[in-house]
Amino acid sequence: MRISICAVGRLRAGPERDLFDDYSDRFAKSGKALGLGPIDLREVEDRKGGGMSAEAPLLRKAMPQPSVLCILDERGRVETSPQFANRIARWRDDGHRHLTFAIGGADGLAPDLRAEADHALSFGAMVWPHMLARVMLAEQLYRAASILAGSPYHRV
């Protein structure tokens, strides 16, 4: 199952980019044997500053179709890493060929795009910068592959 992250804004060179690339590479290596990955990062920018309503069509255009859509949203479900890993495995085992994660800009995702999601995931009650959310998602994808492979990376 291929994985896309469709996100508002550009991840520039720096520590966040380095971490994202590191976890993305790790996921590509560990996920391959599991039928997962690699991560395809698709970035969009609303140059006119229209906020979430202008960002939603840009995100939709960037999303591969057909695809399971999982949004990152503060109102989403908080899951443990093993729960997240098992959810990904179920989508894969159900025959889905593509999984897309959507990360909004500073104001989040438009309500109509949130309504289209197959699943909403939250990284907790705190709000995280959307650039850091990409790093956290890449790490959790790598962790999920490690859990599914039975590797010792994830400790309980």
**How confident is the model over 18-64, as pLDDT tens digits?**
999 999 999 999 999 999 999 999 999 988 888 899 999 999 999 99
- Residue 46 and residue 104 in contact, taking contact as beta carbons nearer than 8 Å: no
Q: Structural domain boundaries of the chain?
A: 2-149
Taking residue 15's Cβ as centre, other Cβ atoms within 10 Å add up to 9
- Residue 41 and residue 77 in contact, taking contact as beta carbons nearer than 8 Å: no
**What gap in Å lies between CA 13 and CA 18, rounded to an integer?**
7
Question: Number of C-alpha atoms within 13 angstroms, CB side, residue 143?
Answer: 15
**Pick among 3.40.50.300, 3.40.1280.10, 3.40.1440.10, 3.40.720.10: CATH of 2-149:** 3.40.1280.10
Give the pLDDT of residue 47: 81
Q: What is the share, in percent, of the chain residues with pLDDT greater than 90? A: 87
pLDDT at 156 over 70: no
Secondary structure letter of residue 106 according to DSSP:
T
pTM for this entry: 0.95
